[in-house]
Structure 1
């Protein structure tokens, strides 16, 4: 692990709640400098380790998905690329996963709120009794100032990054973002201790996160949307044994994704005795949705993969 000391530290109180190119940088660093950012969880501290499902009804959604920054990088100009080398992600010792009514891939199936608080220790999360998920921490929100004026919500992703929720943006990865404003103006937030590809219920194992990143200006590279380079095999924590997979088939990818997830929930209940809502949350933090086939019209296949190494 790169142990370079940060030139700037950004605290939890230094956040913003929209991507907006008019927000002035709170710090400026030289190209190649390391920055440390301490960020609250996606709820902005509204959910704590002592929260119950009743607290979900009181969530102030105007405070969710805050990002910390922005940080300008000397020499970054529109048309350049900002290279973000992800050096370290340190989660706290707890996290939460929730089903929030009206949100998530299967919002019509799961209309009641649910909340699971998970202890994180020794690189693992015991999500359910007998279900241990390896931690693979990252930040769901990483982005720069957008190309157009005005406030852009921190909920959806965009060409400037934003709420990408990409589980492979872990330590060791290099992320490349297009620069649209002088300085680039980088921010991050939304710590995840573990997540499956797709984050199907809408939340991962959400947790406060301390992140260290190196910010460098690339004049020789001109990306137009996020691109990234991983350090090695994907999902090293779970890609160590067999998987069970379920397909969704049909002419619409979203419908196929829902069917694949429903079948995985059925499998988890049938073979592992997990009730539907817990299975849905487990799919969000440990199972991966992948497009298996997208050329054989009129039907496409989306597959849900569950790593069986998490059981036992």
Structure 2
């Protein structure tokens, strides 16, 4: 790979603000490495347990590395972020944080699970392995609105999108609202299911290498992306999938019902405790809308790849 600039992890911030001074300036076509801290901001270690979760300082959660100023980038344009490579640290964490997640009212006790991974697989627990599929959960630009804005919710200019599509070879397009765009990257994952239902994935530190592009006058309404990776999981798909559903007039309630049914299935058929089953849903189960046209009820599906069980 050609030479590139690096933005180190100590150049991090905890919210979007268009007055932040850029760490570096680049021209379109340049390659940049972002050293990304994990979503806890280093508060959790490979030796942490659930007792560390209630004491997390949420002011330090989800740090993002940057910002990067792209020369020539103006409001109405779009910045293209091509994912080239990822280098991780070999371990990650998945937590249930009280008050957070799809089933927050039902899982009110803190939970923390540590996984190990290499370039091919995440060893979740004995007998359960996931494909390692690194991506940054947060890639975003500064909004035009003045002031400090939380990094937690996604926005028109990107941010905490949690799109597992953004693996190697994919390109994310972000609409620009301020000169230079002010790009930052964070919240890197070793694996995640669509929906990230318990609120966390396999959270870990990665260095993310990207190529920066610029699309003049793109006028995108919201983030868009291209990916060469199928949304189906590539390993052990020949074992098939188990799907639970939620049916009703409210997509959020249907999503909760589908995950409750999957947690029940994982307990009955694989002996997983509810907390571990919920965490596994967050890192391996894909949520999707089955149909949203047959009034008055919609269908949400939760899809479990059976090949993760050895």
TM-score band, normalised by shorter chain:
over 0.9
Matched residue, 1:90:
87
Alpha-carbon distance in structure 1 between the residues aligned to 2:103 and 2:236: 26
Alpha-carbon distance in structure 2 between the residues aligned to 1:75 and 1:202: 37
Alpha-carbon distance in structure 2 between the residues aligned to 1:224 and 1:158: 11
- SS of residue paired to 1:116: strand
TM-score by length of 1: 0.97
> What is the CA distance between 1:240 and its match in structure 2?
2.0
Matched residue, 1:117:
114
Alpha-carbon distance in structure 1 between the residues aligned to 2:236 and 2:169: 17
Deviations 1:189-235 (A, max 9, x none): 11100000000000000001100011111115321210000114224
Larger displacement relative to structure 2 (219-228 or 17-26) = 219-228
Alpha-carbon distance in structure 1 between the residues aligned to 2:52 and 2:231: 35
> What is the CA distance between 1:159 and its match in structure 2?
0.3
The partner residue of 1:307 within 286, 289, 305 is: 305
Matched residue, 1:254:
252
Please list, as runs of the form range in 1=range in 2, the aligned pairs for 1:135-284 lying within 5 A after superposition: 135-219=132-216, 221-238=218-235, 240-241=237-238, 242-284=240-282
- SS of residue paired to 1:157: coil
Alpha-carbon distance in structure 2 between the residues aligned to 1:65 and 1:294: 33
- SS of residue paired to 1:57: coil
TM-score by length of 2: 0.97
Alpha-carbon distance in structure 2 between the residues aligned to 1:238 and 1:145: 37
Alpha-carbon distance in structure 2 between the residues aligned to 1:283 and 1:57: 22
* Unmatched runs of 5 consecutive residues or more in structure 1: none
Alpha-carbon distance in structure 2 between the residues aligned to 1:184 and 1:239: 40
Verify the 8 A CA contact 2:236 2:308 in the aligned structure 1. Answer: no
> In the alignment, does 2:24 pair up with 1:31?
no
Residues 1:122 and 1:177: Cα distance change in structure 2 (over 3 Å): closer
Residues 1:173 and 1:239: Cα distance change in structure 2 (over 3 Å): farther
> What is the CA distance between 1:145 and its match in structure 2?
1.1
Alpha-carbon distance in structure 2 between the residues aligned to 1:231 and 1:147: 32
The partner residue of 1:4 within 2, 5, 12 is: 2
Alpha-carbon distance in structure 2 between the residues aligned to 1:75 and 1:103: 39
Deviations 1:245-303 (A, max 9, x none): 00000110000000000000111111111111100000000000100010111111100
> What is the CA distance between 1:148 and its match in structure 2?
1.2
Alpha-carbon distance in structure 2 between the residues aligned to 1:170 and 1:265: 27
> What is the CA distance between 1:238 and its match in structure 2?
4.4
Alpha-carbon distance in structure 2 between the residues aligned to 1:123 and 1:208: 16
Alpha-carbon distance in structure 1 between the residues aligned to 2:152 and 2:88: 21
Alpha-carbon distance in structure 1 between the residues aligned to 2:308 and 2:2: 34
Alpha-carbon distance in structure 2 between the residues aligned to 1:88 and 1:222: 28
Verify the 8 A CA contact 1:135 1:237 in the aligned structure 2. Answer: no
Please list, as runs of the form range in 1=range in 2, the aligned pairs for 1:30-69 lying within 5 A after superposition: 30-69=27-66
Q: CA RMSD in A?
A: 1.1
* Unmatched runs of 5 consecutive residues or more in structure 2: none
User: How many equivalent pairs are there?
Assistant: 309
Alpha-carbon distance in structure 1 between the residues aligned to 2:107 and 2:248: 22
